[in-house]
Chain A
Amino acid sequence: MNILRPLLITLGLIIGLVLVTALQVHFIKLKSLDAITRFLLAGLLTVNIALLLTLVFFVGKNLYRLFMDMRHKAPGYKFRTKLVTIFVTLIMIPSLFLFLAASGLATDYFNRLFSPQLNEPVSTAVDLARSFYDYERERVLLAARHAAKGSYVSSPGIFINRLSDPPANATDLLKEGFRGIEGAEVISRSQGDIIRAVVPAGKGVIIAEIVLPPEMSRRAEKLRMTHEDHLKRVHLKTPLNLNFILLLGFLTLIMVFSALWFALKISRDITTPIQGLAEATEKIAAGDLNIQVQVTSRDEIGTFVNSFNQMVTQLKESKLSLERAYLESDTRRLYLENILQNITSGVLFLDNNGQILTSNRAAREMLGLEEDKVAGMDYRKLITLFRSDDLMHMMRDMEGQDIREIKREIKVNQGGGLKTFRITITGIRESYSSSALGMLVVFDDLTDIIKAQKSEAWQEVARRITHEIKNPLTPIRLSTERLMRKWKNRDEDFGAVFEKSTQTIINEVDSLRRLVDIFSKYGRMPEIAPAPADPAELVESVVNLYRGYWEVKIEVVSEAGIPKVVIDFEQLKRAMINIMDNAIEAMKQNGLITISIGSSAGNVFISIADNGPGIPDEEKESLFLPHFSKRKGGTGLGLAIANKIVTDHGGRIIIRDNNPAGSVFTIEIPVGEQNQGEKNG
């Protein structure tokens, strides 16, 4: 199908050319040429005209296209116009000069070739010959006249004859002679021209004739032919000159058309890829990357277009890759969002301005807020809803800080009750050294857990107390039964057994009393008697108790300007002693304890850091519960009492890991309003 169409077109063109050629052969009467030459010439003429028309058509089409490009300001039209103008100008100027010079030369040549001066000798010879023939004609005519009058004049070579009747083949001259009109004529012959004169004579005519020598006739004929040839050439002067100028004009036009065509072709070869690039760029800008600019040249433009195509391909691949990555990211986002919405911990994401960007369902349920109210809410407004001093303090501490991660347990008023939240705030950043992009707040409601833990702890306390109480009861019962048996048997060693048994009973009762005293102390701590005190003195009084004690080294670091705090000195001293005892036991009486004193935002911090084995995270939550002890023989009440003393002072104890090893117990106590601004020297 693809080859059939050009074949049909070619066949049609050939048939058309043959038909036109046949018509030309028929109508152009070139009978002086043989048939083959006529067909050949007509065929060439047809082909040339067809090709000329084709050239004119293509040039016209390209010029029209260039004109339309100029109107629409298509890409590359300026370059094409410039190139075509330069080409045509470069060709036109020499061609025009060549045309003018050649046509001038040709005209001059033809003028010279056919000038009358060149034929002057021939014309003179013709005039001379005519004069001779005129003379001979007059001489013969004169002889005939004389003969007609009857006088005789000697005329060498002239023959006189008389005719009384006209012959059948009489010439016009002879016929006119018989009608009374004289005349003379020349009859050309190869044997010699005859000059004949006819003069009427009575009823007949006198005919006088002379025969010229054949050589003279031959030379006269040759002169006539030369003269005729010259006339023919002069006759051709105008058409030859005109044809020559037309030829030159045609050649000039061919050159100009060819130059124009080549200029259009070259400019099109250059600008078409540029136009394609411009169109492709527009499509790419519109988002269509499935485009390739077609180019056939292997020059710099071809390389340029190929690079462009390669760039588009890479762009397309990048776009596909981005789309895939986006899809993957979106899938992952959905996955994470599902996780986020389904986990039981509350999650909030805050931007750097403190506005809540994201919240999950658990967070909204714990906060008791609707989604549309949470989104975009400032965290400061959120805090005020809970009326939580812990939260206020925490946020105040965080103001202006470069936060990495903060973990706190706080108490908040929510839903008409006091709840305990464990809150973890993490700064979200691209790398460790970069600034935070926002804050991720994760919080859990520990209220029920703590209640359960406390319940479990008190059950454990009850079990232990029962156990501890039962332990002395057994020896007491055994001793009592032994005494009764000895007394009933009236044994001789009753006295010794009595003493020993009663001593045992006394010991066990003392043990019970101590046990009751300890629990009594925890359950009924004495009322605190607050008074301004120097935290450094407090620390000093505690440290003095441990000076030279085992292999423990104690260092005290204190900031300058620590304000006094309103505390019960003795109770806080007891709390510190409990923490110190715990640390020394953890270090197995060997290590370094560093006590740091500092203040910030109305609080005084006393940190007791040891380099012992540290406390596992899962135990940190239960450390302050009564009777929680990992130590053999411990009551589990030391840290519980310390925590109770500190919380009774409105403070708290924070536990964190020491670096590189050990634990840090930080006692945080508010300074108290009356001591605000009072600084120690």
Chain B
Amino acid sequence: MEKEFYNDNFEEFLRESTEDFKMYPSRRVWHSLYNDLHPDRKWPSLAVSLLLITAILYLGVINNNAINANTNNLLAAGKEAGEVATKSTSFPGGDVELNSSASTQVRGQKSIPVKVSPSLVGASDSYLVQMQADKLRVQDLLNLNIPATAIPATVQVDRNDNVITGSPDTKNTMRTSSAFVYNNLSSAQANIQSDLNPNVAAAQTISNPGSSTTLNSLPVIENKTIDPTSGNNTNANQLTGGITSAKTVTNSLSENQIFKSTQNLDLPWVEDHAFYNRKNKGVWKAKSSLQYYITPSIGYRTIETAPSPVVTNSVVASAPATSNEVDQHAAINLEAGAALRYKIGKKLIIKGGLQINYTSYTINGYELKHPSQTTLALNNTNSSGSSLQPYNTSYANSPALSNSKLNNKTLQFSIPLGIDYQLAGNHRLKWYAGATIQPTLVTSGNAYLLSSDSKFYVNENAFINRWNINTSLETFITYKLNDGMLLQAGPQVRYQMFSTYSKQFTASEKLYNAGLKFGLIRNL
């Protein structure tokens, strides 16, 4: 009763019109579905990824050990050279003796590795190897068995809302150029609209030479008509040919021709043109997202020191017993930034952005009551080799009597460019690995440089390089909220590729930090 009261032809019309409406989902849906249905099969990729991360860490540790051994050798050589120096030196200030025979060994975990594993940086290549572009198999879609004559309103739409094959009205679905041209041309065939010949628009238009003078003037390259009864499997190919024809015509039209052909026509092509432009923008937006992140981390450094040409005694007014040990400690670092991410494949995302980093580590030193003079080993600018340059300093390297924390810090702005690769996940929870390379501008900093005899620190910021390159490796999980926003969390390692100091200073310091990155990703 109720249905009869409300139901008229309108419902029937709607039902018939939309019954065969089809859209082709992206492969992402099936992959997510597959992962949900077969969770056990996620484990191989999970295991491989864990193995990869373990291998990277292992290589890093191995490399560090080798580096420490190298450092000890280098410092031992320096110690032998240091035998020239007095074993016990009195200073005019008189109340402190410097003992240069102290061990040159670097203390504890805070050793001074000379090099850093390149594997840590180069490991991102192995992710790249796994990446495979996921292309929509258009041919598969084209070969679907859909009788052209049996579906008066069948519409099949691909991921970008393009019509793959369909009814007479598919003529309007050719995107951008072909749609543009079609709408201009289709006015000429307004008088044949009653003829519902299920041909592809472009082919139909081109195959009616008498329908328009505009058409006749067009340099038609190909004249192709699709026979709707010619069979299912060839239908798509013919459609493809028709589209090609339309595109060829489009390409051969000058703007002037198009304008002339349309200026007298009252067609809503402007609307369509605007629509397609809007959709193109939509596609770009659909693949893009904006990421905001912050990464608290622990920062540290590796340092490689060249043997000093000559190790001299410092002339110190008042200094405690110093040593060659370097007592350095990690400190809190911070990173914050924003990045634009663009999905270029099923699992691959490229990203670029702007980021600010505060890096820091501390050295335990002893603040002298009176400034002292020491030397820094600097490379000669005009010739090979190095020489010692005198500097005044108020900080001695005296871990045993440490009373001052010397904070080595920099403020950096970088442009991280990189990729994220999805390792596993479903539509809500995803696991990624990522890597970036970061051209970096160091805007300010504070550097305490170890003197040539390793007994003092000189606060000299002029040697800080303004430009550098950093790299980062990260792995993280994202969780999709109901409003489509993603929360991100995961560990990150950042490593500085070149020395903090300019080439003039003989020591090479490379900063690194490890932290937890928290982010928020939202669609544009």
Partners in one complex: no
A residues with a Cβ closer than 8 A to B are none
